Structure 1
C-alpha cells in the first residue's frame, strides 16, 4: 500500500478537513487553471467520451407506459346508444332554455304606430308675427327668465340680454354719455 502524505496542499481554496479526501480523489482532474474550470467546467467527470451527446429522452419518459384498456367491451352497444341519445336530448333542452329563439322583428316605425292614426289631420298653426331665423335671437329658458337669473350684469338691451357688455369695465366718466345704460342699471337695483 502506498502511504499518502500527511500534509497535502489545498490548491482550490480553503475547505473543510473531511473534504480533502474528495479533493485528493479528483486532484488529477484539476490540471487546468481555475479560470478555465470556471469558464468551461471540469472535463471528463461525467463522461470520458468528450464527443458524446446528451440524451434527449428522460428516465420518466422512457419508463412511462400509457394505461391501456382491458381490450374487451365493458358496456353493451345498446346501452351506449341509449346514453348518447338521452344526453343529446338533455343538451338540446338546456340549450333551448338558455338561448330562447329571438322574437320576430316588428318593422313598424314610431311614426306609423304613434302618429299615423285614422282621423288625424295635421294642421300648421297660424303665425302670430313674422320671424326671421337669421337675425332673431333664440328663445330659450334663460332668455325667457332673464329678469329672475341671479349674477347677470345689466343688459344693454332687453332684446339681446346675453350679448357682450363692457359696462362693468367701462369707467364711469365714459358711461355718462350713454343714458340707456344708466337707466337700465339704476332700474335693476
Structure 2
C-alpha cells in the first residue's frame, strides 16, 4: 500500500499537469479505499447535486442539425407517375401468382388413361363348357375330395355332396334304398 507521503510526491511517474490535478483532488482521495476510487472515480467533482441527470444532447448535436430538405420537387412528375404505375403492376402480378386458383384436375381412371387403346373391339368369349354359375355347385378342394374326408354323411348326389342329408333322422324303412349303388352309377354316366 502506498503511504500518504508517497502519494503526494511528484515523482510517481505522472505528468506535470496531472500532478497539479492530483494535488487538487488529494482531499477527495481520502474518502474511501483506493481500489474504489480507481473503479468508480471521484464523486463530487463534476456536480455536487447527486439527483441531477446528464444531458441527452451533446454540444455537437445541438449546434449541427440535419437539413430538412428543400420545398422544391426533387424528381419529375412523369418519373413519379411511372414509379407508381410500375409498383402497382408488379404488385398485381405477384398477388395473381400467390392467389392463383389451381387448375381443374382431370378425373380419368387408370383403365381409361393406361389401357384404353383405339381400334380395340371387345368380343364376349364363347364358353368352353355348358355351365350355369347360378345353379351349378362351385368346384372346390373339399368337393373334389369328399370321399377322403372322415365324418361326412352318406352322399346321395355326387354333384352336391354337402347338401342337406336328413337320412339319420328318417325312419329306417324310408331311408333304406334297395339299390344305393345304382344312384351313384347312373350319375357317373
TM-score, normalised to structure 2, is 0.39
- The structure with the largest alpha-carbon Rg is 2
TM-score, normalised to structure 1, is 0.39
Structure number with the higher helix fraction is: 2
